[in-house]
């Protein structure tokens, strides 16, 4: 897949993302690896789901008291990675996170299925679970508490936007002669493009 010249990296991302969504072999095209760094300087990584993106950045949502939630507050530097193997494509994104607005968080939470909303309230994400029955009881209690009414967004649950500083588009080539182009944000806020050896 050739990178289109004179396009922003977000145009290219959108084009490749749409391609990925057409492939039935890609079970979850929104899945992206999120790497964060804790206070101890040790990186951690996990898969999260891209919920929306535009030229402001790439958004995902989480429990703010979770391991990643705490790290994101402590250190705003993050990296994302998409890999769609059937297309021979990888996209690496480096940048800083900022919290989404309260309205954005409320709107997205309201769009979730009710079971997922209940789960967000019930889960003490990343905390040790003493027994599964206690979790089931929390789910049952919260289901009862919100019976017959809309479920509000928990105050400890919100979203983050990754504001990209660098985006690398990698496309698999024959004999490991891969195509790599990097878009980096310059001091004038314009994107500079460079090619890398594979």
Which residues, 6 or more positions from 47, have their beta carbon under 8 angstroms from its beta carbon? 31, 32, 33, 34
Distance set, CA 104 to CA 26, 27, 50, 153 (Å): 28, 26, 14, 11
Catalytic residue among 112, 114, 176, 180: 176
Q: What 3-state DSSP class applies to 138? A: helix
For the question of residue 176 being annotated catalytic, the response is: yes
The torsion of the CA quartet 57, 59, 63, 69, rounded to 10 degrees, works out to -30
What's the N-to-C CA distance of the chain in angstroms?
A: 16
To which residue do tokens 């997205």 refer? 108
Distance in angstroms (rounded) separating the CA atoms of residues 67 and 41 = 14
Active site residues: 176
């Amino acid at each position: 897949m050739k990178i289109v010249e004179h396009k922003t990296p977000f145009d290219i991302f959108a084009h490749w993302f749409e391609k990925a969504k057409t492939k039935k072999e890609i079970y979850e095209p929104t899945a992206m690896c999120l790497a964060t760094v804790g206070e101890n300087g040790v990186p951690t990584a996990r898969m999260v789901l891209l919920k929306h993106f535009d030229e402001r950045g790439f958004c995902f949502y989480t429990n703010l008291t979770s391991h990643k939630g705490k790290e994101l507050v402590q250190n705003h530097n993050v990296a994302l990675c998409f890999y769609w193997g059937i297309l021979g494509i990888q996209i690496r994104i480096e940048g800083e996170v900022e919290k989404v607005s309260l309205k954005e968080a409320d709107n997205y939470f309201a769009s979730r299925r009710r079971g997922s909303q209940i789960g967000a309230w019930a889960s003490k994400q990343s905390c040790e679970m003493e027994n599964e029955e206690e979790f089931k009881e929390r789910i049952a209690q919260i289901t009862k508490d919100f019976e017959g009414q809309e479920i509000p967004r928990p105050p400890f649950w919100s979203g983050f936007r990754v504001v990209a500083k660098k985006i690398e588009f990698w496309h698999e080539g024959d004999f490991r002669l891969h195509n790599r182009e990097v878009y980096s944000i310059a001091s004038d806020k314009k994107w500079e493009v460079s090619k890398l050896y594979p």
